[in-house]
């Protein structure tokens, strides 16, 4: 009894010394059809899993619902934030590294990553590439801005903002000294979502200064799903399971029908007159 | 009373008791009908057992269950044309086997049910045959288009033959 109590006290003390680090997981599914970039949480988004991640905004804990899905060579993000008031220059940045999960530092600054991929978004549909040796950053699109087909922000009736984004999964940038994080199917990548209202001048070469952003989520792991036709994909697994269930159900029904005929035949024995 | 006396009394009682009416000997027609029914019944049982066997084999084959799963999933080298051809024909062969098994299941089940109906003084009708076709066609459909086609064509051929022979 005393041992159990001591163990309980020790575990509580340990927990208080090293607070548990929450790691959130984003497991996008293969979308078909792809969501339309219109700033609306439409049916395509609703049919996929979303992850709710806490984020501190203005000293208060808020919940950020993150939708993700993959369609061919694109990855889609939907960031839904519901707060009582939204800052006029509310912005999000998604930063991702190609470092191995577990070894990547969980840091509020993307500068801590050796290679990172960032995007900064706000109502003006803008992003910027940062290149700063030896740390390399690149944006997620080929151009210097996110065009309408890649980004749309929606304002919902229930006081929420919905940032809908589409990025290429793989963007070779050898001429920019590398630095791209290419999302390979089945691989996992560390990711962070930053929130800010105090960003600097857009035209700064080294902007946005993610380290100066107000707040960020805990570390998130993003796992790119296998291709839909890959035997290991969830879609194929689900299809196979449904097929097996359907098959077995059908065979059981057929078996019962045949058994009924058998019972009918067995009962015929009593109809034969004894001599 | 001595034992000898007792047995004499019992014998007297038995002889005085009313005699049971004699069971009439079955007629030759009744014996023949009984033999026919017994033959139909044993034939129905045999056909039913066979059809159950074919049902199990058809389900295993159509569903791709053991041992048919291993036989069906032949390794195909995607870059080898001959391997692809072998794999395709191998799969078709199993679809064909499934179709034949389904056809055998249908025929033997129809025989069994028909015999049982005959013992009861009925004959197998279109509704019974339709019921059997519907039951078996679901199994055949799982075996692929080949097995489905073979069962459908085969069952119509069998029905046509029966209709032609009986008309």
Q: What is chain B written as a DSSP string?
A: --HHHHHHHHHHHHHHSPPPPPPPPPPHHHHHHHHHHHHHHHHHHHHHHHHHHHHHHHHHHHHT-TTHHHHHS----TT-HHHHHHHHHHHHHHHHHHHHHHHHHHHHHHHHHHHHHHHTT----HHHHHHHHHHHHHHHHHT-HHHHHHHHHHHHHHHHHHHHHH-
The percent of residues above 70 in pLDDT, for chain A, comes to 61
Q: How far is A254 from chain B (nearest CA, A)?
A: 5
pLDDT of A21: 60
- Between these two residues, A259 and A124, which has the higher pLDDT value? A259
Contact B135 A257 (CB under 8 A): yes
Each residue's pLDDT tens digit, B91-145: 677 788 899 999 999 999 999 999 999 988 888 898 999 999 999 998 998 888 8
Q: Is the pLDDT of residue A130 over 50?
A: no
* Distance, CA of A120 to CA of A39 (rounded, Å): 16
pLDDT of A212: 54
Q: How far is A73 from chain B (nearest CA, A)?
A: 24
Element (H, E) at A235: helix A234-267
pLDDT of A154: 79
* Distance, CA of A110 to CA of A248 (rounded, Å): 52
Out of A261, A268, A274, name the one closest to residue B120 (CB): A268
- Residue B113 contacts A, CB cutoff 8 Å: yes
Is A192:A55 a contact under the CB 8 Å cutoff? no
Of the ranges B23-37, B47-61, B75-89, the best mean pLDDT one: B47-61
Each residue's pLDDT tens digit, A38-69: 888 888 888 777 899 998 887 888 899 999 99
Q: How far is A143 from chain B (nearest CA, A)?
A: 39
Give the gyration radius of chain A's Cα atoms. Answer: 27
* Distance, CA of B139 to CA of A253 (rounded, Å): 10
Contact B120 A272 (CB under 8 A): no
Q: How far is B166 from chain A (nearest CA, A)?
A: 23
* Distance, CA of A209 to CA of A169 (rounded, Å): 23
pLDDT of A134: 41
Six-digit token string for B82: 């001959």
- Residue B133 contacts A, CB cutoff 8 Å: no
The percent of residues above 90 in pLDDT, for chain B, comes to 37
**Reported confidence tier of residue A11, pLDDT bands at 50, 70, 90:** low
Instruction: Kindly provide the residue ranges of all beta strands, DSSP E only, lying in chain A, ordered along the sequence.
Output: 24-26, 29-30, 50-57, 60-71, 74-82, 91-97, 115-121, 131-132, 135-138, 151-155, 160-168, 188-196, 215-216, 220-223
Out of A247, A265, A272, name the one closest to residue B112 (CB): A265
- How far the first Cα of chain A sits from its last, in Å, is 82
Does ipTM exceed 0.85?
no
* Distance, CA of A108 to CA of A64 (rounded, Å): 17
Contact A273 B30 (CB under 8 A): yes
Contact B34 A272 (CB under 8 A): yes
Contact A254 B59 (CB under 8 A): yes
pLDDT of A119: 62
Each residue's pLDDT tens digit, A221-249: 899 999 888 877 777 787 788 888 888 89
Q: How far is A192 from chain B (nearest CA, A)?
A: 41
- Averaged pLDDT, A242-260: 90
Buried (b) or exposed (e) across A108-139, using 16+ Cβ within 10 A?
Answer: bbbbbbebbbbbbbbeeebbbbbeeeeebbbb
Which chain A residues are closer than 8 Å to B48 by Cβ? 261-262, 265
| Residue B82, phi then psi, degrees to nearest 5 | -65, -35
Give the three-state DSSP class for A260. Answer: helix
Residue B78: partners with Cβ closer than 8 Å, 6 or more residues away: B84
Q: How far is B117 from chain A (nearest CA, A)?
A: 8
- Residue A261 contacts B, CB cutoff 8 Å: yes
- Averaged pLDDT, A5-19: 49
Place of tokens 């799903």: A225
**Reported confidence tier of residue A253, pLDDT bands at 50, 70, 90:** very high
pLDDT of A70: 92
pLDDT of B130: 93
Closest to A57 (Cα-Cα) out of A83, A76, A24: A83
Contact A250 B136 (CB under 8 A): no
Q: Is the pLDDT of residue A138 over 60?
A: no
Q: Is the pLDDT of residue A10 over 60?
A: no
Out of A247, A251, A265, name the one closest to residue B113 (CB): A265
A275 → chain B, closest CA residue: B26
Contact B44 A268 (CB under 8 A): yes
Out of A247, A258, A271, name the one closest to residue B109 (CB): A258
Q: Is the pLDDT of residue A149 over 50?
A: yes
- Residue A258 contacts B, CB cutoff 8 Å: yes
Q: Is the pLDDT of residue A16 over 90?
A: no
- Averaged pLDDT, A156-180: 70
pLDDT of B87: 56
* Distance, CA of A11 to CA of A205 (rounded, Å): 48
pTM as predicted: 0.55
Which chain B residues are closer than 8 Å to A251 by Cβ? 59, 63, 139, 142
């Amino acid at each position: 009894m005393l041992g159990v109590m001591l163990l309980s006290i020790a575990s509580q003390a340990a927990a208080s010394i090293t607070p548990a680090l929450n790691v959130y997981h984003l497991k996008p599914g293969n979308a078909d059809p792809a969501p339309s970039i219109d700033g609306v949480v439409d049916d395509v988004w609703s049919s996929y899993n979303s992850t709710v991640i806490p984020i501190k905004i203005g000293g208060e804990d808020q919940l950020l619902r993150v939708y993700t899905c993959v369609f061919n060579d694109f990855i889609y993000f939907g960031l839904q934030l519901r707060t009582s008031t939204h800052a006029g220059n509310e912005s999000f940045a998604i930063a991702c590294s190609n470092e191995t999960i577990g070894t990547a530092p969980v840091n509020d600054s993307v500068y801590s990553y050796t290679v990172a991929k960032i995007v900064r978004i706000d109502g003006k549909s803008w992003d910027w590439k940062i290149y700063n040796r030896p740390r390399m950053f690149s944006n997620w699109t080929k151009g210097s801005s996110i065009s309408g087909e890649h980004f749309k922000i929606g304002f919902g009736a229930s006081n929420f903002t919905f940032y809908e984004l589409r990025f290429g999964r793989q963007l070779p940038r050898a001429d920019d000294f590398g630095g791209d994080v290419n999302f390979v199917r089945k691989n996992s990548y560390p990711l962070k979502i930053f929130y800010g209202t105090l960003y600097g001048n857009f035209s700064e070469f080294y902007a946005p200064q993610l380290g100066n952003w107000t707040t960020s989520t805990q570390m998130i792991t993003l796992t790119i799903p296998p291709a839909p036709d890959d035997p290991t994909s969830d879609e194929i697994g689900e299809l196979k399971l449904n097929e097996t269930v359907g098959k077995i159900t059908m065979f059981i029904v057929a078996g019962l029908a045949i058994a009924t005929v058998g019972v009918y035949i067995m009962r015929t024995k009593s109809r034969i007159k004894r001599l | 009373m001595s034992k000898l006396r007792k047995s004499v009394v019992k014998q007297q009682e038995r002889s005085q008791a009313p005699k049971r009416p004699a069971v009439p000997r079955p007629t030759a027609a009744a014996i023949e009908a009984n033999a026919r029914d017994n033959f139909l019944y044993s034939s129905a049982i045999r056909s039913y057992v066979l059809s159950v066997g074919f049902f199990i084999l058809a389900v295993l084959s159509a569903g791709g269950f053991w041992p048919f799963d291993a036989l069906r999933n032949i390794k195909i080298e995607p870059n080898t044309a001959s391997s692809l051809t072998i794999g395709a024909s191998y799969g078709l062969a199993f679809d064909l086997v499934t179709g034949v098994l389904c056809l055998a299941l249908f025929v033997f089940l129809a025989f069994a049910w028909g015999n049982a109906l005959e013992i009861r003084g009925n004959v197998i009708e279109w509704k019974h045959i339709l019921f059997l076709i519907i039951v078996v066609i679901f199994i055949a459909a799982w075996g692929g288009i080949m097995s489905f086609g073979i069962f459908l064509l085969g069952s119509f051929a069998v029905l046509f033959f029966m209709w032609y022979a009986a008309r």
